[in-house]
Amino acid sequence: MDKQTIIADEARYMMQTYRRADVVLERGEGVYLFDSDGRRYLDFMAGIAVAALGHADPAVTAAVAEQAATLTHVSNLFYTAPQVGLARRLVTHSFADRVFLTNSGAEAIEGALKFARKWARERGVGKHEIVAFGGSFHGRTMGALSITYKAAYRDPFAPLLPGVCFAPFNDLDAARAMITDDTCAVVVEPVQGEGGIHTATPEFLRGLRELCNQHEARLIFDEIQCGLGRTGRLWAHEAHGITPDIMTLAKPLANGLPIGAILLTEDVAAAVGYGEHGSTFAGGPVVCRAAEVVFDRVSDPAFLAAVAENGERLQRGLRDLNSPRVVEVRGAGLLVGVELDGPAAPVIAAARARGLLVINAGETILRIAPPLIVTREHVDEAVAILGECLS
Ligand SMILES: Cc1ncc(COP(=O)(O)O)c(C=O)c1O
């Protein structure tokens, strides 16, 4: 099908919820994508922080092809080795004792909220209040939307979950005023993605941990965007020396195949019994085989060190542009935000015209989240292109 037919058919047949760039992507290889006109793009958005190992990674492709040819789906009423293998890896390398697998980030958030509620109920307190934060993004399903900050996402679908309140991000005093004995869960992204690439301070996360202990609330870290190597550490919260009770993962876990995960302590896991939660497709053998390959590669200390190094190089390169249009460069590892003095959209379009894909996070912030396998040469090339767009 030619490009114009694809674009016309999308307009004719698909629900119009995505504002798309005028590009039909056909193929990917490593950090590059190729469109229907044969143009090559340096992909510094990786989906949206998804393709950690780049596109068409040979090991992921081989694992997926082999698994698909062997066993694609069975009900969760049976065991499969890839599912258990992935769970073992996640538990062995984290604070968690157990894992529940899902199909997406939002589904992981929904499960996390249910599990926190059930945990409270098992302790004889049916409390349900949730504290979330300004700038948060947790997904588009009803529960996830209820704890997502932006009114434009939430308001058209009200009424949402009762008992949710938002404290300003990184404001511990405000959080202290909102977290009470009626709080069931506190949900926070250690590095906010969609909200503009804001990193939680160590004092803030440590303070939330203490408040959750004090008020018997469960602390949920949403590492769907910032987790699994993106910050140069396996988990973003590792930088702060504290752990949550529940953590959600998704985006990069199977390098682009749909998957999510809820990691939790035994204490929380024990509150949810047989038949109280489930999902037909979640934890299927194909996605889990892909995720095993991703996890083994990303959890290698040398891989993580390279992410940290390239992230620093990227931030340094962007600062050294000395562009008057740049207000601030911030981020962690290969999740970088460039706050501009005006709208990000024209810069994104200019970069695309020069063969570089980046995305926004809010109106004025460029979000740069390349595959974690980028080399310093890729980083330098991206910085040079952005330099042209920001001059
Ligand atoms: C931090 C965070 N949480 C949750 C989600 C929702 O994930 P999904 O789009 O897979 O439902 C996202 C997606 O951007 C995210 O960045």
What CATH number is given to the structural domain containing 355? 3.90.1150.10
Does one domain contain both 141 and 211? yes
C-alpha distances (whole Å) from 114 to each of 48, 227, 240, 381 are: 26, 21, 26, 45
Does one domain contain both 136 and 156? yes
Q: Are 373 and 311 contacting, i.e. CB atoms less than 8 angstroms apart? A: no
Q: What is the pLDDT of residue 382?
A: 98
Q: Is the pTM of this model over 0.95?
A: yes
CB of 193 shorter than 6 A to ligand 1: yes
Does one domain contain both 208 and 185? yes
Identify the band that residue 240 occupies on the pLDDT scale cut at 50, 70 and 90. Answer: confident
Which of 222, 245, 295, 303 is catalytic? The answer is 222
Q: Are 119 and 268 contacting, i.e. CB atoms less than 8 angstroms apart? A: yes
- 131-157 pLDDT tens trace: 999 999 999 999 999 999 999 999 999
Q: What is the pLDDT of residue 309?
A: 98
Domain assignment present for 64: no
Q: What is the pLDDT of residue 230?
A: 98
- 82-121 pLDDT tens trace: 999 999 999 999 999 999 999 999 999 999 999 999 999 9
For helices 81-92 and 285-298, the axis angle rounded to 10 degrees is 30
Nearest 5 degrees, angle CA 196-CA 382-CA 105? 40
Q: What is the pLDDT of residue 136?
A: 98
CB of 230 shorter than 6 A to ligand 1: no
Domain assignment present for 231: yes
**End of a domain among 268, 298, 328?**
298
Q: What is the pLDDT of residue 130?
A: 98
State the chain's mean pLDDT as an integer.
98
Q: What is the pLDDT of residue 124?
A: 86
Does one domain contain both 260 and 354? no
C-alpha distances (whole Å) from 299 to each of 28, 144, 229, 280 are: 24, 28, 7, 28
The tokens of 380 are what?
Answer: 């330098």
> Which CATH number belongs to the domain containing residue 287 in this structure?
3.40.640.10
43 catalytic per annotation = no
Task: Quote the domain boundaries for residue 213.
Answer: 71-298
**End of a domain among 298, 316, 335?**
298
Domain assignment present for 158: yes
Does one domain contain both 212 and 341? no
Domain assignment present for 376: yes
* Number of independent structural domains in the chain: 2
Q: What is the pLDDT of residue 209?
A: 98
Using alpha carbons, select from 299, 267, 353 the residue that is nearest to residue 89: 299
- 22-55 pLDDT tens trace: 999 999 999 999 999 999 999 999 999 999 999 9
Does one domain contain both 196 and 284? yes
Rounded CA separation 299/234 (Å): 6
How far, rounded to the nearest angstrom, does the alpha carbon of residue 142 sit from its chain's CA centroid?
18
Work out the average pLDDT over 243-248: 98
Q: Hey, what amino acid is at 32?
A: Y
137 catalytic per annotation = yes
Q: What is the pLDDT of residue 47?
A: 96
Rounded CA separation 147/137 (Å): 8
Does one domain contain both 81 and 121? yes
**End of a domain among 280, 298, 316?**
298
Rounded CA separation 215/264 (Å): 19
Does one domain contain both 160 and 280? yes
Does one domain contain both 260 and 307? no
Of 50, 101, 136, 137, best ligand 1 pocket probe by most atoms within 8 Å of the beta carbon: 137
155 catalytic per annotation = no
Does one domain contain both 127 and 234? yes
Beta bridge partners of 260: 102
Does one domain contain both 103 and 176? yes
Burial class (CB in 10 A: 0-12, 13-18, 19+), 277: middle
Domain assignment present for 62: no
Identify the band that residue 163 occupies on the pLDDT scale cut at 50, 70 and 90. Answer: very high
DSSP structural state of residue 240: G
Does one domain contain both 137 and 259? yes
pLDDT at residue 129 greater than cutoff 90: yes
Domain assignment present for 326: yes
- 316-345 pLDDT tens trace: 999 999 999 999 999 999 999 999 999 999
